[in-house]
Amino acid sequence: MKKIKIMCVIGTRPNFMKIAPLLRALKNYPKFRPILVHTGQHYDYKMSGVFFKDLNIPRPDYNLGIRAGLHGEQTGRTMIEFEKVCLKEKPDLVIVVGDVNATLASALVAAKLHTPVAHIEAGLRSFDRTMPEEINRLLIDQIADYLFVTEPSALKNLIKEGIPRKKIFYVGNIMIDTLKNQKYKAKILKQFNLKPKQYAVLTLHRPENVDNKKILENLLNIFDEVQKKIKIIYPVHPRAEKQLKKNGLTRFINQMRNFEIIHPIGYLENLALMSHSKFVMTDSGGVQEETTVLKIPCLTLRQNTERPITVTQGTNVIVGRNKNKILKEVNKILAGRTRRSKIPKYWDGHVARRIVKILCPKK
């Protein structure tokens, strides 16, 4: 029996959490032959290798080794190398996840080769086209053949954009499959001498927050006020670390006695760190979802979110870079006045199984 080749593409660490449960689910269907392609957009051990280990992801069949670069350069080089793999393997379906440059590049190549494309996490919209990810989302969804959505807003967005309803499947959030499948321990608390609920976690990496010195300085001044109320732990992203050093801001951070920068940590360590924290401050989309499921208050340091269900049903509050709003929400959390929340529909740990059933050929 000829096996159906399903090519799964990953590029950055958020992709790994979304593809891991899918690879496990595909193993239960002998008619499928998964092929894993890593574009290499995140490539060092702390940003990539440790996630393969934590999530038990098999060694990629192909590693394109694209690495960092400007948007056009990164997208173009990925297309060139990915096309070679597609021409060699001739996949029956290409599955892409999320909204990074690797996702768009792979989807474009597949579409031009007339290979069906499945997009996991389709339809999410921030309605902010200054975000590179928003451009990627819009383009990917226009050429995808299967659009798997995490929440009702995504389904509505796609229908408004003219995507045929028969292509859209409301399956839930596949990243929660990974979260629910992991047993994360609190060892990291001992490692950094932390006590549960006695610290806050910060993640900050988006260009709009870290690439502009004035904005970054403003945020650090806000964090200085917060750390006077509660300890802040910051697993620093390489991009942010580079900007802090470039702009001479590390000296200011060193003066904050209750603000601790640590090296990037693995997925399981990060889950443990967040799950025992008092609250999280972030500009990450995935963290907004994880904190909702972990029932940890989340303050999003952006003007918008492409994941509105984390606000309407989850633990997320959009605070932007507004000092008064951030401090107001921090004070509410520290006073025990946290918002009521619930876990969204289909964020149940069985999303990968639903996706594979949809992709399975009907007899």
- How far is 29 from 12, CA to CA, in rounded Å? 26
Instruction: Report CA Rg, the chain.
Output: 20
- Measured on CA atoms in the order 170, 171, 176, 180, is the torsion positive or negative? positive
State CA 249 to chain mean position distance: 27
- Mean pLDDT along residues 82-97: 98
Q: Is the pLDDT of residue 73 over 70?
A: yes
Extract long-range pairs of 57-60: CB within 8 Å, 24+ residues apart. 57/16, 57/19, 57/20, 57/23, 58/23, 60/10, 60/36
- How far is 338 from 361, CA to CA, in rounded Å? 46
Laid out side by side, the sheet with 62-63 consists of 62-63, 32-38, 4-10, 93-97, 117-120, 146-149, 168-170
Q: Looking at the domain assignment, is residue 181 inside a domain?
A: no
Q: Are residues 165 and 16 in the same domain?
A: yes
Q: Is the pLDDT of residue 178 over 90?
A: yes
Q: Is the pLDDT of residue 10 over 90?
A: yes
Q: Are residues 166 and 216 in the same domain?
A: no
Q: Looking at the domain assignment, is residue 195 inside a domain?
A: yes
What is the per-residue pLDDT across 247-279, written as a single tens digit (0 to 9) for each? Answer: 999 989 999 999 999 998 888 899 999 999 999
Q: Are residues 19 and 100 in the same domain?
A: yes
What is the per-residue pLDDT across 274-288, written as a single tens digit (0 to 9) for each? Answer: 999 999 999 999 999
Q: Are residues 152 and 217 in the same domain?
A: no
Percent of the chain with pLDDT over 90: 83
Q: Looking at the domain assignment, is residue 178 inside a domain?
A: no
Among the listed residues 205, 237, 276, 350, the single catalytic one is: 205
Q: Is the pLDDT of residue 48 over 60?
A: no
142 compared with 266, residue with greater pLDDT: 142
Q: Looking at the domain assignment, is residue 156 inside a domain?
A: yes
Helical residues (DSSP H) of 228-340, grouped into ranges: 238-246, 250-254, 267-275, 285-294, 309-312, 323-334
CB of 86 closer than 8 Å to CB of 106: no
With 0-12 / 13-18 / 19 or more C-beta atoms within 10 angstroms meaning exposed / middle / buried, residue 65 is exposed
**Cα dihedral 300/306/311/316 (nearest 10):** -30
With H, G, I as helix, E, B as strand and everything else as coil, classify residue 201: strand
Q: Looking at the domain assignment, is residue 339 inside a domain?
A: no
The total of structural domains in the chain comes to 2
Which domain range does residue 119 map to?
Answer: 4-172+347-359
Q: Are residues 125 and 266 in the same domain?
A: no
Token pair 């697993």 is at which residue?
Answer: 235
User: What CATH code is carried by the domain that includes residue 61?
Assistant: 3.40.50.2000
Q: Are residues 23 and 161 in the same domain?
A: yes
Q: Looking at the domain assignment, is residue 84 inside a domain?
A: yes
With H, G, I as helix, E, B as strand and everything else as coil, classify residue 293: helix
pLDDT, position 45: 43
Q: Are residues 10 and 130 in the same domain?
A: yes
Measured at the CA of 97, the angle between CA 26 and CA 92, to 5 degrees, comes to 50
CB of 308 closer than 8 Å to CB of 151: yes
State CA 19 to chain mean position distance: 11
Confidence of residue 41 (pLDDT cuts 50, 70, 90): low
State CA 284 to chain mean position distance: 7
- Mean pLDDT along residues 106-133: 97
Measured at the CA of 244, the angle between CA 305 and CA 40, to 5 degrees, comes to 65
Confidence of residue 103 (pLDDT cuts 50, 70, 90): very high
pLDDT, position 183: 73
Distances (CA, A) of 170 to 24, 153, 358: 20, 10, 11
Question: Mean pLDDT lowest for which of 65-69, 73-77, 207-211, 273-277?
Answer: 65-69
Q: Are residues 137 and 247 in the same domain?
A: no
Q: Are residues 145 and 215 in the same domain?
A: no
pLDDT, position 49: 65
Tell me whether residue 276 is one of the annotated catalytic residues.
Answer: no
What is the per-residue pLDDT across 221-246, written as a single tens digit (0 to 9) for each? Answer: 999 999 999 999 999 988 899 999 99
Whole-model pTM: value is: 0.93
With H, G, I as helix, E, B as strand and everything else as coil, classify residue 282: strand
Q: Are residues 193 and 144 in the same domain?
A: no
Q: Are residues 117 and 245 in the same domain?
A: no
CB of 92 closer than 8 Å to CB of 38: no
Distances (CA, A) of 264 to 12, 32, 51, 195, 251: 14, 35, 11, 20, 20
What mean pLDDT, rounded, does the chain reach? 93
pLDDT, position 316: 98
Type of residue found at 41: Q
Which range among 36-45, 175-184, 263-272, 305-314 has the greatest average pLDDT?
305-314
Q: Are residues 143 and 289 in the same domain?
A: no
Q: Looking at the domain assignment, is residue 57 inside a domain?
A: yes
Helix H or strand E segment including 25: helix 13-26
Q: Looking at the domain assignment, is residue 341 inside a domain?
A: no
